[in-house]
Amino acid sequence: MTQAAATEHHAPVENTSTGLNSRKLMMWAFLGSDVMFFGAFIATYLVYRGKSLVGPYPSEILDIPITSVSTFVLLMSSLAMVLGLHYVKEGQKNKGTIWILIVVVLGAVFMGFQFFEFKTFAHEGLTPRTNIFGTTFFILTGIHGAHVTIGVIWMAILAYGSHKGTLRSDNSLDLEIAGLYWHFVDIVWIVIFTVIYLISATDGPPLGVGPTIVH
Amino acid sequence: MANLWQRLTQHDGNGWWNLPHTSSNELNPDFEGPIGGAWFGNMWRTLTHGGVSHAGVAFYWVIGFALAVVTLLEVWLFTVEGLGGWYIPILLALSVAKFIGVVAYFMHLRFDHRMFTYFFVSAMIVGILIFTLLLLLAEYGHQPALF
């Protein structure tokens, strides 16, 4: 098929100054600003990495196996999201609704993991006020958790809309825009998991200072 | 020779490294393979969509599976001793691969209008600049008292 022939099958160009859908462009612009937002918090975490003078320290408290499971859950929610969008665009209402509901469930499971983690950390003596690790860790992961919470509520509304038939293939852009947001939350976690958990998990107390938590 | 080069590296006149020429609302443009280019594109077409050139449900499962495997690999690397200075660069490379996988395919930038890619990449560049500046300030600037 030639490119010219293929272009005939494309959706009509939007009647805007850019030729693009303004709502979608707005979401990309928002995600661009969120990149800088999270970039600043991740950089702040790295600036203060290993500089806590009192514990608990990352090596004493971070639980990699549990966080790996929650990371897997969030990644799979992204897969569910793209499948949900695919089926909604194809007009397969039931499949679309089920996959969007799976996104909601997986997002809620991820939030549950985070709640469990925060509660465990608080029980072991790490709060945002304990040390600089606690401050930077809770702010970064807490803001990400707030994003996930908003995403779960958004997806639940869209799942209800899909079930009721108000979300259809002709207005699937609503889901596509929500999906962009959801995938962005996922890629931010990809970075957080690597930088905060996998790379920092071996950070212990400064030289000459003993461990805070004795298991 | 030029014709052979074109057949090896290009797909409908659009090199695999190029951003696609598509409209903004197309889910899976017909003439854009998931990777692009004849050599990769043909392979993916065979794997994922029975000869049709665009990505389908199976391709999304392939990407999801690949992301899960890379995550597993990252966690395994965490348990491996003796990587020394290679540990962080390897983890960052795997993280970037996952990042690109989600952005290109799940967020559809590979198939979408190039303007969206420009938006996102511009923000990434500014974000990375902020990131780098903060780290440089921390290294060479005034150190506040910590608690």
Contact B146 A28 (CB under 8 A): no
Contact A6 B61 (CB under 8 A): no
B51: left (phi over 0), alpha (psi -120 to 50) or beta: left
Average pLDDT, chain B: 72
Q: Residue A171: its pLDDT value, please?
A: 87
Rounded alpha-carbon distances, angstroms, from residue B64 to A73, A183, B84, B119, B135: 11, 12, 30, 25, 33
Chain B residues in contact with A70 (beta carbon < 8 A): none
Residue identified by tokens 């107390």 is A205
Contact B102 A183 (CB under 8 A): yes
Closest alpha carbon to A133 in A76, A48, A37: A48
Q: What is the pLDDT of residues A83-136, one digit of tens each?
A: 999 899 888 999 999 999 999 999 999 999 999 999 999 999 999 998 999 999
Q: Residue B45: its pLDDT value, please?
A: 56
DSSP code at position A205? P
pLDDT > 70: percent of chain A: 89
Chain B residues in contact with A128 (beta carbon < 8 A): none
Shortest alpha-carbon distance between residue B91 and chain A (Å) = 7
Q: Residue B83: its pLDDT value, please?
A: 78
Query: Which of A193-197, B4-8, B123-127 has the least mean pLDDT?
Result: B4-8
Query: Which of A157 and B32 is assigned the larger pLDDT?
Result: A157
Helix, strand, coil % over all residues of chain A, rounded to 5:
70, 0, 30
Query: Which of A65-74, B23-32, B40-49 has the least mean pLDDT?
Result: B23-32
ipTM above 0.90, yes or no: no
CB of A4 within 8 Å of a chain B CB? The answer is no
Q: Residue B11: its pLDDT value, please?
A: 46
Residue identified by tokens 């050139």 is B53
Q: Residue A119: its pLDDT value, please?
A: 94
∠ CA A53-A55-A61 to the nearest 5 degrees?
140
Q: Residue B67: its pLDDT value, please?
A: 92
Chain A residues in contact with B104 (beta carbon < 8 A): none
On whether the A74-203 domain is CATH 3.40.50.10680, my answer is no
Highest mean pLDDT among A4-8, A182-186, B121-125: A182-186
Please state, in angstroms and rounded to a whole number, the distance separating the CA atoms of residues A186 and A195. Answer: 14
Rounded alpha-carbon distances, angstroms, from residue A170 to A86, A94, B128: 13, 16, 37
CA nearest B88 in A: which residue? A199
Is residue B134 within a helix (H) or strand (E), and if so which, with residue range? helix B114-140
Q: What is the pLDDT of residues A142-153, one digit of tens each?
A: 999 999 999 999
* Residue A52 contacts residue A138 (beta carbons within 8 Å): no
CB of A42 within 8 Å of a chain B CB? The answer is yes
DSSP string, A60-97: HH--HHHHHHHHHHHHHHHHHHHHHHHHHHTT-HHHHH
Residue A77: partners with Cβ closer than 8 Å, 6 or more residues away: A102, A103, A106, A107, A110, A182, A186
Please state, in angstroms and rounded to a whole number, the distance separating the CA atoms of residues A49 and A31. Answer: 26
pLDDT greater than 60 at residue B19: no
Is residue B11 within a helix (H) or strand (E), and if so which, with residue range? strand B10-11
Global pTM value: 0.81
Which of B68, B102, B124 lies at the smallest CB-CB distance from A35? B124
Contact A75 B64 (CB under 8 A): yes
Please state, in angstroms and rounded to a whole number, the distance separating the CA atoms of residues A14 and B10. Answer: 29
Shortest alpha-carbon distance between residue B90 and chain A (Å) = 11
Average pLDDT, chain A: 86
Closest alpha carbon to B123 in A17, A61, A184, A63: A184
Q: What is the pLDDT of residues A44-64, one digit of tens each?
A: 898 888 888 887 888 888 888
When pLDDT is cut at 50, 70 and 90, the band that residue A4 belongs to is very low
Q: What is the pLDDT of residues B106-147, one digit of tens each?
A: 888 877 777 888 888 998 898 888 888 888 887 787 666 555
Read off the pLDDT of each residue in A19-32 and give the average, rounded to a whole number. Answer: 87
Closest alpha carbon to A70 in A151, A189, A195, A205: A189
Please state, in angstroms and rounded to a whole number, the distance separating the CA atoms of residues B92 and A58. Answer: 19
Read off the pLDDT of each residue in A175-183 and give the average, rounded to a whole number. Answer: 94
When pLDDT is cut at 50, 70 and 90, the band that residue B51 belongs to is very low
Residue identified by tokens 């197309």 is B26
Strand, helix or coil for residue B135: helix
Chain B residues in contact with A30 (beta carbon < 8 A): none
Cβ-in-10-Å burial (0-12, 13-18, 19+) of A210 comes to: exposed
Please state, in angstroms and rounded to a whole number, the distance separating the CA atoms of residues A66 and A184. Answer: 22
Structural domain boundaries of chain B? 2-140
Chain B residues in contact with A35 (beta carbon < 8 A): 120, 123-124, 126-127
How do B14-15 and B10-11 pair as beta strands? antiparallel
Which of A6, A10, A82 lies at the smallest CB-CB distance from B106? A82
When pLDDT is cut at 50, 70 and 90, the band that residue A208 belongs to is low
pLDDT greater than 90 at residue B10: no
pLDDT greater than 70 at residue A175: yes
When pLDDT is cut at 50, 70 and 90, the band that residue B36 belongs to is low
When pLDDT is cut at 50, 70 and 90, the band that residue A14 belongs to is low
Q: Residue A112: its pLDDT value, please?
A: 95
Chain A residues in contact with B33 (beta carbon < 8 A): none
Residues 120-139 of A with CB under 8 A from B: 131-132
Q: What is the pLDDT of residues B72-116, one digit of tens each?
A: 998 888 888 877 788 888 988 999 999 988 988 888 887 777 788
Residues 55-94 of A with CB under 8 A from B: 64-65, 68, 71-72, 75-76, 78-79, 81-83, 85-86, 89
CA nearest A18 in B: which residue? B115
Q: Residue A211: its pLDDT value, please?
A: 63
CB of A95 within 8 Å of a chain B CB? The answer is no
Q: Residue A49: its pLDDT value, please?
A: 85
Please state, in angstroms and rounded to a whole number, the distance separating the CA atoms of residues B108 and B105. Answer: 5
- How is residue A203 written in tokens? 């950070």
Residue identified by tokens 């983690």 is A117
DSSP code at position A124? T
Q: Which of A2, A34, A190, A192 to mutate to test the interface with B (most CBs of B within 10 A)?
A: A190
